[in-house]
DNA sequence: ATGAAAGCGCTAACAC
DNA sequence: GTGTTAGCGCTTTCAT
């Protein structure tokens, strides 16, 4: 089987005896075409197995129905859910998401953005608000709608939709302080580039301070199975500070590990030690006790972001930049005492 | 801020006083260009914030360094790992992966493939061996290297790399029978389109039969949190068939749910009941007991598939189709007795 | 080492 | 309702 030249419109045109232009119209369902010619064209195209060349189409029409989605990672459960929200909305439009991963590295982010922009997407959805100057410049120069997602604690290039992680941290601290916990430990990741985790932590300590409480101890991890790390870190921090009465985890996975560990040890949760995580992952439904956590409205964020892009691209309404702040929802669970 | 026309090569050409052609050469690092002009061009390009238009570039050069990766889903931990293997290899080349999701629906698969082909990718990596006739036709007509991954029990359009799921099922059955378990239950998903799970089940029952054992009971689920479903299903099947002494789960997540449930109930695992799953997810590291499972070599599959595509695209060696069968590795864990 | 001309496969804009 | 013409922004090829 020789490597064959891919089929072109011209091939379909010749096979059907209709001009290239009309073939193009039929295939794009644009403009009026008589039923007879339409049939001829469709038949010819199908028989040949013709697949339109979007590269040429995009160049000619100056339109690419692609939305660049730039996120840190796909492996921690949080972004797949955002993606679902995005797809749900874009599926109703001719737009298609294309994702690029940054792995929380600013350098990679810049590179991925450049790469994406070189395909001239119709819109951009990007996680976070902190980007290099180069990124901001490219974004502004792109001339397409941009939505920064997940976070609203900062300044957006264009639109943003997310939650306030500072506020989320404060809310959880309030809840914990209100239940009378005093000796609080914080367990998180070692990622300096995870700005949202950082903001949560800042809000958390700030609200604790207002209640006259200081973080008693902290522990950070890096890589490996989060569930296993949650166990280890919990063991370590309690070994070092046995008098802790509450553990705040920066994500649900390590929280779940901690919970499993404490339960095995026979520690009474939440009486002896209270626990809380962040994110509301589906996994938690299957745990022996429901971990107290906070839902970051991930799917909703995806939906809202996609909606902004879609209306701006389709209706071509050059809308003003929007800011949508969603309310993180606390899920009390069974690992925090309730008065 | 008026919507600005995106920059073109011409803009850089004018700004630097160098012909478009030479600018193009500098930007692509092809052909000899004097250091002086090179500097001029680079400076101008950076100052303007020029981003090359790949659409035009691809059309002119008839080359698109994109590899289409078509997989069912990103949310069950198995494909993200395959993606890592793919990226790892493609990162060393000019090729870039672009993923499309089928959600285990043949109709969607066809649609996604068509969409992808219309961008004229340099290669295609596709999960599974069972595709509609339309898909096979498109694949063959595409004229680019194709690697079907995950499974080798069947016929590939071109190359394939994966494990034999039938064999994996047989291996686990052997192990279970060898340990003297007799009353075996199977718990899986309701997905008729998950051919690999089906093949594992077939191999499993076949090998059991050779040992004079028949599946004693089965249970299927559909949607929801896999961990929670694992609990429910385990409760249900044991309620119905209290005499079961082994449970084989079609994936590790429901297996983990079952394990957690049984441990809470005070059931002795693996003495009273043995347990096994499939896939070797990282999560398992944090469980109270290590679930017996089988590693499907997902990352390796990704790597090998990407290598095939890369060599065929780059070195342009029109290599013959390859078949690479990887060995699934059984991980004995603590939920199966060991003699 | 640099430039000019001719397309790549399609669609916008206009004829008819 | 259908066809013609002229590009889209690059790269290839060939001159210089």
Of A171, A259, A243, A157, whose CA–CA distance to A207 is shortest?
A: A171
Distance CA(A181)–CA(A269), nearest Å, equals: 13
Reduce the DSSP state of residue A223 to 3 states and report it.
coil
Do residue B83 and residue B178 come from a single domain?
no
Min Cα–Cα distance to chain B from A62, Å:
10
Q: Which helix (H) or strand (E) holds A276?
A: strand A274-276
Answer whether A255's CB lies under 8 Å from A293's CB: yes
Do residue B100 and residue B149 come from a single domain?
yes
Answer whether B245's CB lies under 8 Å from B184's CB: yes
| CA atom of B83 to C1′ atom of D5, Å | 46
B40 within some domain: yes
Strand partners, B70: B100, B126
Answer whether B261's CB lies under 8 Å from B289's CB: no
Structure tokens at A307: 């909606």
Cα-based distances in Å from A281 to A338, B2, B245: 22, 42, 32
Domain interval for residue A23: 9-52
Lowest mean pLDDT among A58-72, A124-138, B232-246, B316-330: B316-330
Mark which residues 147-206 of A lie under 8 Å from B by CB: none
Structure tokens at A302: 């995806």
DSSP string, A65-102: -EEEEEES-SSSSHHHHHHHHHHHHHTTSS-EEEEEE-
Substitution target in A52, A55, A228 with the highest count of B β-carbons within 10 Å is A55
Interchain pair B283, A225: CB under 8 A: yes
Of B48, B89, B51, B50, whose CA–CA distance to B67 is shortest?
A: B89
Residue segments in chain A with a per-residue pLDDT below the cut of 70: 1-4, 316-318
List phi, psi (to 5°) of B146.
Answer: -130, 130
Terminal CA-CA length for chain B: 75
Do residue A78 and residue A184 come from a single domain?
no
Structure tokens at A17: 């005896």
A183 within some domain: yes
Distance CA(B176)–CA(B160), nearest Å, equals: 30
Of A117, A154, A157, whose CA–CA distance to A136 is shortest?
A: A157
Do residue B280 and residue B181 come from a single domain?
yes
Do residue A169 and residue A290 come from a single domain?
yes
**B191-230: pLDDT as tens digits:** 888 999 999 999 999 999 999 999 999 999 998 889 999 9
Do residue A291 and residue A191 come from a single domain?
yes
- Option in A52, A141, A142 nearest B118 (CB): A52
Q: Determine the pLDDT at residue B243.
A: 96
Span B262-283, average pLDDT: 93
Q: Which helix (H) or strand (E) holds B113?
A: helix B106-117
Do residue A171 and residue A137 come from a single domain?
no
**B6-61: pLDDT as tens digits:** 899 999 999 999 999 999 999 999 989 999 999 999 999 998 989 999 999 999 99
| CA atom of A122 to C1′ atom of D13, Å | 34
- Angle, helices B165-178/B195-210, rounded to nearest 10 degrees: 40
Terminal CA-CA length for chain A: 75
Mark which residues 219-258 of B lie under 8 Å from A by CB: 224-231, 256-257
DSSP string, A104-145: T-HHHHHHHHHHHHTT--SEEEEE-S---HHHHHHHHHH-S-
Answer whether A131's CB lies under 8 Å from A109's CB: yes
Interchain pair B74, A83: CB under 8 A: yes
Using the Cβ of A282 and the Cβ atoms of chain B, whether some distance falls under 8 Å is answered with: yes
Query: Which CATH number fits the domain that encloses residue B138?
Result: 3.40.50.2300
B267 within some domain: yes
Q: Which helix (H) or strand (E) holds B264?
A: helix B252-265
Min Cα–Cα distance to chain B from A246, Å:
21
Q: Would strands B329-331 and B293-295 be described as parallel, antiparallel, or unpaired?
A: antiparallel
Distance CA(A271)–CA(A273), nearest Å, equals: 6
Would you say residue B316 has pLDDT above 70?
no
Query: Which CATH number fits the domain that encloses residue A26?
Result: 1.10.260.40
Answer whether B244's CB lies under 8 Å from B216's CB: yes
**Which positions in chain B touch A318 (Cβ < 8 Å)?**
3
B269 within some domain: yes
A336 within some domain: no
Q: Is the CB of A52 under 7 A from strand C?
A: yes
Of A169, A165, A172, whose CA–CA distance to A336 is shortest?
A: A172
Q: Determine the pLDDT at residue A317.
A: 66
Residue count of chain B, please give it. Answer: 339
Do residue B217 and residue B277 come from a single domain?
yes
Structure tokens at A133: 């100057």
Do residue B288 and residue B303 come from a single domain?
no
Total tally of structural domains belonging to chain B: 3
Give chain B's radius of gyration (CA, Å). Answer: 26
Give chain A's radius of gyration (CA, Å). Answer: 26
Distance CA(A299)–CA(A250), nearest Å, equals: 19
Do residue A66 and residue A118 come from a single domain?
yes
Mark which residues 86-125 of A lie under 8 Å from B by CB: 96, 98-99, 114-115, 117-120
DSSP string, A34-53: -HHHHHHHHHHHHHHT----
Substitution target in B27, B50, B51, B108 with the highest count of A β-carbons within 10 Å is B51
DSSP string, A203-218: HHHHHHHHTT--EEEE
Distance CA(A77)–CA(A74), nearest Å, equals: 7
Instruction: Name the residue in chain B with its Cα closest to that of A139.
Output: B49
Q: Determine the pLDDT at residue B284.
A: 85
Cα-based distances in Å from B141 to A131, B114, B158: 43, 12, 12
Distance CA(B87)–CA(B78), nearest Å, equals: 15
Instruction: Name the residue in chain B with its Cα closest to that of A144.
Output: B3
Do residue A31 and residue A133 come from a single domain?
no
The protein residue nearest C12 (Cα–C1') is A61
B333 within some domain: no
Distance CA(A166)–CA(A189), nearest Å, equals: 17
A4 within some domain: no
**Which positions in chain A touch B143 (Cβ < 8 Å)?**
3-4, 6
Q: Is the CB of A53 under 7 A from strand C?
A: yes
CB atoms within 10 A of CB B175: 19
Distance CA(B150)–CA(A79), nearest Å, equals: 24
Answer whether B213's CB lies under 8 Å from B177's CB: yes
Question: What is the interface size between A and B, counted as CB pairs within 8 Å?
Answer: 117
Q: Is the CB of B40 under 7 A from strand C?
A: no
Min Cα–Cα distance to chain A from B181, Å:
27
Of A142, A159, A122, whose CA–CA distance to A316 is shortest?
A: A122
Do residue B148 and residue B169 come from a single domain?
no
Distance CA(A11)–CA(A20), nearest Å, equals: 9
Give the pTM: 0.93
Would you say residue B288 has pLDDT above 70?
yes
Q: Is the CB of A3 under 7 A from strand D?
A: no
Distance CA(B147)–CA(B122), nearest Å, equals: 12
Distance CA(A206)–CA(A200), nearest Å, equals: 10
A268 within some domain: yes
**SS3 per residue for B115-132:** HHHCCCCCEEEEECCCCC
Structure tokens at B318: 């029109």
């Amino acid at each position: 089987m020789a490597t064959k030249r891919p089929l072109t419109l011209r091939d379909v045109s010749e096979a059907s005896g209709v001009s290239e232009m009309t073939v193009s119209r039929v295939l794009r369902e644009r403009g009026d075409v008589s039923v007879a010619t339409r049939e001829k064209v469709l038949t010819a195209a199908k028989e040949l197995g013709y697949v339109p060349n979007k590269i040429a189409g995009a160049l000619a029409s100056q339109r690419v129905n692609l939305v660049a989605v730039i996120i840190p990672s796909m492996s921690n459960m949080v972004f797949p859910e955002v993606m679902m929200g995005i797809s749900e909305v874009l599926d109703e439009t001719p737009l298609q998401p294309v994702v690029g991963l940054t792995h929380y590295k600013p350098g990679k982010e810049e590179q991925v953005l450049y790469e994406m922009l070189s395909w001239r997407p119709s819109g951009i959805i990007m996680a976070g608000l902190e980007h290099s100057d180069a990124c901001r410049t490219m974004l502004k120069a792109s001339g397409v709608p941009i939505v920064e997602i997940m976070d609203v604690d900062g300044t957006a290039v264009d639109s943003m939709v997310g939650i306030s992680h500072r506020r989320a941290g404060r809310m959880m601290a309030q809840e914990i302080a209100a239940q009378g916990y005093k000796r609080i430990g914080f367990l998180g990741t070692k990622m300096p580039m995870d700005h949202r985790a950082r903001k949560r932590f800042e809000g958390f300590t700030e609200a604790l301070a207002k209640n006259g409480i200081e973080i008693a101890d902290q522990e950070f991890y890096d890589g490996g199975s989060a569930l296993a790390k949650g166990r280890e870190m919990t063991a370590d921090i309690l070994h070092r500070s046995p008098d802790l009465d509450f553990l705040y985890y920066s994500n649900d996975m390590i929280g779940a590990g901690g919970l499993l560990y404490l339960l095995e040890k026979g520690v009474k949760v939440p009486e002896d030690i209270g626990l809380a995580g962040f994110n509301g992952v589906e996994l938690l439904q299957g745990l022996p006790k429901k971990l107290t956590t906070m839902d970051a409205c991930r799917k909703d964020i995806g939906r809202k972001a996609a909606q902004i892009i879609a209306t701006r691209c389709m209706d071509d309404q050059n809308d003003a930049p929007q800011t949508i702040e969603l309310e993180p929802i606390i899920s009390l669970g069974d690992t925090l005492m309730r008065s």
